[in-house]
Amino acid sequence: MVSDAFSLAERPVHLDLGARALVQERFTGTPAWYASYGARTAADGEEGRLVSLHTFSEPWTSWEMHPRGEELVVCVAGRITLIQEVDGEAKSVTLGEGEAVINPAGVWHTADVDGSATALFITAGVGTEVRPR
């Protein structure tokens, strides 16, 4: 069966334990969206993955950290500089189109952009923490 096309920027996908890709409700970016997503996918625990696509035109205003799994970040348009805090020191890597980096579990990270950039994220989101930048 062929499914209908959808915007990944508007409707993230959850990869579940049954090897299924489940289109999620419209993304709002609010804490309520993440809470609802977490409740819907809780049975998958640490092995479930959120696949999302975001476009940025300004530096991130916060840091985030995924304590229970790694996150793959793929730049699909523009340039994005990912900053990881490793052993108390900020280390950065700039990604161009088609380049990727992995945020290790437990590593705080944030990002800067020059102009506009779009990135694909595959995230182990259980227990994600956020702090101001």
pLDDT tier at 3, thresholds 50, 70, 90: confident
Query: In this structure, which amino acid lies at residue 125?
Result: G
pLDDT, one tens digit per residue, over 35-60 is: 999 999 999 999 999 999 999 999 99
The two counts, helices (H) then strands (E), for the chain are 1, 11
User: Which whole number is the average pLDDT over 11-32?
Assistant: 96
What is the Cα gyration radius of the chain? Answer: 15
Round the average pLDDT of the chain to a whole number and report it: 96
pLDDT at residue 2 in the model:
75
Q: In order of start, what are the domains of the chain with their CATH numbers?
A: 13-132 (2.60.120.10)
Q: Could you tell me the two tokens for 19? A: 């090897």
pTM of the complete model: 0.94
Q: How far apart are the first and last CA of the chain?
A: 45
Tens-digit pLDDT profile for residues 90-111: 999 999 999 999 999 999 999 9
84-111: buried (b, 16+ CB within 10 Å) or exposed (e) per residue?
beeeeeeeeeebeeeeebebeeebbbbb
pLDDT on residue 44 = 96
